[in-house]
């Protein structure tokens, strides 16, 4: 029998989207979140058309469009010369080609918008301050004392649900860390335009910059090599780590180096990734989002894949018995995730290229027309969950 009730572990983007997607299918859900309150955690997000399309189906797009920025383009630029080597049209061009917007916003804005929609939905119940260890999950009951038909693990890269699935993915530190800081618009140099996403690439590191309407300035994320700091989304960089960050950008353009050198509020988090493995237990437990397939952010698709997962899973849970539904979901989603992971790995090599490889990269990018970049993204941005 198709699912009628669900327990969702985690009230991040994946869990909240899952609750709204299930409600759209007439499935009642209860979300169990360990935090006492949902607050700002993490950095900005890029929401590509494949995810925006789902958010539109769930009825939250109008609210989000009043809070986010829809950049005119995504520019790939040299971190040394500041020259734009390639530009992918976004804005009106993205909406026309992929039938949905491309936007940037803070993670907390998306999470809180989804939370408000969940709180307004009679099919959804949110329980805060409910930390569950792996041993608690098999006996989990809903508010009325009944067992949920399905348990959805949306508890992120350090998932406890994952431990209950045989041969589930193993998570490892990637060797890279992400540094986050916010720069007020008034303090930004001309190299940071307010109407586009800029990815500055240099030897062994890259810097992503885009404007946040909901943050009052530019969101900057620098990705460099580094050492693991454990399970954290926000950690203050100690002097040794900050010195290593500055060394990573030593050969970069002075205008970009100054942004990092003068910022005193540098936060970082380790970038971890999940390997291949089972996402479901063949019965009543299934993983979505980072719990299933945490990946490197070199395609800016982490949140988008969680949103897609949630919507696709809900569709299958409404159409088939739970064991069949979660197996079909896994079989449908794994090839797309694998293909995207390969693309992200390729981008990692391209973004951090050194020496002659970097010179060749710059030349090839400059010769490639913008429409070919858009065509290359059709399979990602044009996907309809």
Active-site amino acid positions: 210
Residue 12 backbone dihedrals phi, psi, to 5 degrees: -85, -165
The 10 Å Cβ neighbour count of residue 190 is 7
Q: Which residues of 251-266 are buried (b: 16+ CB within 10 A; e: fewer)?
A: ebbeebeebbeeeeeb
Strand boundaries in the chain, DSSP class E: 5-9, 28-32, 44-47, 73-78, 84-89, 103-106, 124-127, 150-153, 171-184, 197-202, 205-212, 217-225, 235-236, 267-274, 285-287
Residue 121: name the closest of 32, 25, 33, 3 by CA.
25
How far is it between the farthest Cα atoms of the chain? 65
Sheet holding 267-274, edge to edge: 84-89, 73-78, 197-202, 205-212, 217-225, 171-184, 267-274, 235-236
User: For 332, phi and psi rounded to 5 degrees?
Assistant: -75, -40
Provide the residue count of the chain.
385
How far is residue 173's CA from residue 292's CA, in Å, rounded to a whole number? 15
Q: What is the DSSP letter of 69?
A: B
CB 314 within 8 A of CB 2: no
């Amino acid at each position: 029998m198709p699912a009628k009730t669900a327990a969702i572990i985690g009230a991040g983007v994946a869990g909240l989207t899952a609750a709204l997607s299930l409600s759209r299918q007439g499935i009642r859900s209860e979300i169990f979140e360990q935090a006492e309150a949902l607050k700002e955690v993490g950095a900005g997000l890029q929401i590509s058309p494949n995810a925006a399309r789902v958010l539109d189906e769930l009825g939250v797009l109008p609210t989000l469009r009043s809070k986010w920025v829809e950049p005119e383009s995504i520019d790939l630029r040299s971190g040394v010369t500041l020259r734009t080597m390639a530009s992918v049209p976004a804005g009106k061009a993205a909406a026309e080609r992929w039938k949905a917007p491309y936007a940037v916003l803070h993670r907390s804005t998306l999470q809180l918008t989804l939370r408000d929609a969940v709180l307004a939905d009679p099919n959804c119940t949110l329980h805060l301050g409910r930390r569950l260890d792996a041993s608690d999950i098999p006996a989990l009951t809903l508010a009325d004392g009944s067992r949920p038909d399905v348990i959805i693990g949306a508890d992120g890269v350090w998932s406890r649900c994952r431990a209950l699935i045989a041969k589930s993915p193993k998570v490892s530190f990637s060797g890279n860390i992400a540094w986050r800081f916010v720069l007020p618009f008034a303090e930004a140099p001309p190299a940071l335009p307010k109407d586009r996403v800029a990815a500055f690439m240099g030897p062994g590191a890259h810097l992503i910059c885009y404007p946040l309407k909901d943050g009052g300035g530019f969101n900057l994320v620098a990705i460099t090599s580094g050492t693991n700091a454990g399970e954290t989304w926000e950690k203050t960089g100690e002097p040794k780590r900050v010195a290593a960050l500055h060394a990573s950008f030593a050969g970069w353009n002075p205008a970009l180096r100054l942004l990092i050198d003068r910022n005193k509020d540098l936060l970082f988090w380790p970038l971890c990734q999940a390997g291949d493995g089972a996402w479901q237990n063949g019965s009543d437990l299934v993983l979505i989002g980072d719990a299933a397939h945490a990946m490197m952010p070199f395609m800016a698709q982490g949140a988008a894949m969680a949103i897609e997962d949630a919507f696709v899973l809900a569709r299958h849970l409404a159409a088939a018995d739970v064991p069949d539904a979660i197996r079909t979901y896994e079989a449908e989603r794994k090839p797309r995730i694998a293909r995207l992971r390969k693309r992200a790995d390729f981008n990692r090599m391209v973004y951090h290229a050194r020496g002659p490889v970097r010179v060749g990269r710059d030349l090839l990018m400059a010769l490639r027309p913008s429409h070919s970049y858009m065509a290359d993204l059709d399979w990602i941005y044009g996907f309809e969950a």
